[in-house]
Every structure is written in C-alpha cells, then in structure tokens.
Structure 1
Amino acid sequence: EEEDESCVHALQLTLSQVLPMVLNAANELEIFDIIAGAGGPDSDAQISASEIASKLPTQNPDAPAMLDRMLRLLGTHSLLSCSLHTLEDGSVDRRYGLSPAGKFFVQTQDGPSLASVVSLANHPAPREVRYNLKDAILEG
C-alpha cells in the first residue's frame, strides 16, 4: 500500500506540468470570464462545455469535448465546480461554475485577478529557462 501511494505521488509529480498548461489555455480562451458571464462572478451559475464553445471563435466540432476534458481537470483541482444533469434523451451533461479559487482567474472583475500571473508564468522566456535548467547547471 505504501509503495502504491509512492507510485501515485511520483506519477502526480511527473504530470504536474499539465495543470499549468491547461490553466494557461483556459486563461487565453477567457473560460473563467465566460463562466462568470453566465451569471456574474458571485453567482452559482453553471454552464456546459458546449455553451462555452459557442462563445469561442471556433468552427472545430470537437471543441466542446476538448473543453470538457480541460474543465474536468480544472474541476479536480477545485478551480471549477461541476454538476451532472440528465437531459431529456437520457444523456448526461456536465455543467461548470466558478469555485471560490476559480473566481481569482476572472479577468473582467473589479478585484484582483491572477490571470496576468498565469500569462507571465507561461510566457516563452521563463518557460525556456526552465527547459534549459540542466544546461545552466552544467555549463553555467
């Protein structure tokens, strides 16, 4: 059991780059603002991935499914709330809302926003430094 927990922890660390990349894409797509626009940043309004995709300048038919994967990841990190709704045809639709932490990524709010910090952290210049850290240590 301890070895399994250690393996899971090691895997989480290995994949820890995924969240910042998804958060950056959500920031660039203004996903948090779109969700906030569904009812205001202080509301509990929830919106589906299809509804979000309809507000993006895309013709990609796979956009709602791709967004849903991103939104689920943000939900597992408590940046979004998620609820399931059964539709008339029996299919299940996930709807997403802003969590208390997610509200800090809304760019159009009056209070502080971490959106610019996400952009800065994912800018190519500091990212390039991180990718070349080994060379900096070995070569100076």
Structure 2
Amino acid sequence: EQQNKQIKKSTTNMNSPPYPELAKQEEETFSYAMQLACGSVLPTAMKTAIELGFFDIIAKVGAGAKLSAMDIAAELPTNNPDAPIFISRRKCYQASRKRPTSPGGGVKLFNGIQTRLYFLLPVAKCLAPDDDGVSLGPMLTFLQDKAFMESWPALKDSILEGGIAFHGVHGMSLYEYPNKDPRFGRLFDKFLINHSTKVIRKLLESYKGFEQVEQLIDIGGGSAVTLNIITSKYPQIKGVNFDLPR
C-alpha cells in the first residue's frame, strides 16, 4: 500500500503542469496585452511632460535632483491647485512603464503628509535639452501632433483601399502639409534639426567613412544641419546641400 501511494504521488507530480511558471507567463502576457491596449496613453503623457518642461525643471536643479510634484508645479505658469495631483498621476504612470522619471527618490513631508520625490533616469538625458539645447523631445511632440495623429485611424483604409494614410486624411503629402499649416511646419523643422543633430553626432563617434571624402551632397538636406556637423569634423569636405525652398 505504501509503495502504491509513492507511485501515485510520483505519477501525479510528473503529470502536473508547472503551475507557478504557467501562472507567471499568463500574468506577463496579460500585462503586456494591457500595455498594448493603453499604448496611446504613454506617448500622450510624455508629450505633456515635454511641453510643460518637467524634465527641464528637474534637470536645471542639478545632478541628482529630487523634486516633488508640488516642486514641479511651482515652476509652471498655473494657479491650478490640483496641478500637483495631475503631475503625480502622470509621473507614476510613466515610472510604472520604466520611463524617464522615477518616484524612487524617497519622500518628504508637506504639512505632515508624505509625498513622492521624482528624479531623472539616464534616458531623460535624451529628452531634456543638452548644453546646445538639443534633444529628442521635439521628435516625440511632432509624432504626437494632432495633424500627424489624425492619419493613424486611416491606416485601415490605406490597407483595404490603397494609398497613404496621411495623404488620404489631409489631401496632400506629409512634406506638402507644412505649406498649409506653418505651425506644423515649425514642429517638423524642429524635429528634423534635433533628430539629425543627435543621430549624426552619435554616428560620428564611431563611423570613420568620411575621412577620405572630398565632396558630400545631401539630397533633401533641409537646413543643412547634417552637412554642418559632418564638415565641422571633416573640414576637407566640400558640402553641397540640395533641397527645395519652403
């Protein structure tokens, strides 16, 4: 009888699925699905943080700065008494997605009430303006702009009926639209300048392919930011910026 019990127990263990591992996998899958369902929330919250200068406010205090939502709100042009609450909610959401600010900076007391302190994570260096005023922030705000976002719902139609979503919504291409909407054009230019500056500088840290180049033509070079950066490092290059006036 004892032997039968041991055999039965052994058989049960062999046939039992790894419930803890399975439960963990299902939990991670469900959590990821929830993130996808809420996918538009994070970039919108990030756009708000960039437009209001949250990262700049913390960065200007100095390295290792830790500020509360009330500290950040005090630097904004607002008298809204609820501003710290909304800031805290957005910061907590961003932190839960492992984004540029973290509430892991401890707490401090305001009128006997504990409040979270926020500090910048390393990725924030890419979103807050550097010493030259350059960042990837304009890229995020441009891609979240109303004119750009209005084209996304038309992706389904572009698949079923053909065409380009942006053109279908606005009746013109992305590159023609700035002539209709100068505000969008300024956002576009700022995005391209900042993005090109960040990317080309990073590229030149490791890429040595321009050392023997004598002439470089940039087709569609816009304001010639890319050429200026390259020719500044390699002055032997004659740069030609080829683009249409706008």
TM-score, normalising length from structure 2? 0.51
- Percent identity of the aligned residues? 38
| 1:81 counterpart (94, 102, 112) | 102
Matched, 1:124 2:149: no
Greater alpha carbon shift after TM alignment, 50-59 vs 109-118 = 109-118
Mark the runs of 5 or more structure 2 residues left unpaired by the alignment. 1-22, 163-246
Deviations 1:77-125 (A, max 9, x none): 2311322224275421111111100121113533741111111111222
Matches within 5 A, 1:94-109: 94-107=116-129, 109=131
Provide the rounded CA distance (Å) in 2 between the counterparts of 1:35 and 1:46. 7
Change (3 A) 1:5 1:88: closer
- SS of the counterpart of 2:79? coil
Alignment-mate amino acid for residue 104 of structure 1: C
CA distance in 2, matches of 1:102, 1:55: 19
Distance across 2 between alignment mates of 1:118 and 1:68: 21
Larger relative contact order (CA 8 Å, sep ≥ 6): 1
1:24 to 2:47 alignment: yes
TM-score (norm 1): 0.86
Supply the distance in 1 between the matched residues of 2:109 and 2:77 (Cα, whole angstroms). 26
Which amino acid counterpart does residue 83 of structure 2 have in structure 1? Answer: A
Q: Structure 1 CA distance, aligned partners of 2:144 and 2:131?
A: 22
Q: Secondary structure at the match of 1:93?
A: strand
What does 1:1-140 correspond to in 2, within 5 Å? 1=23, 2-39=25-62, 43-76=63-96, 77-82=98-103, 83-87=105-109, 90-107=112-129, 109-110=131-132, 112-140=134-162
Amino acid in the other structure paired with 1:135: D
Task: Quote the RMSD (CA, aligned, Å).
Answer: 1.9
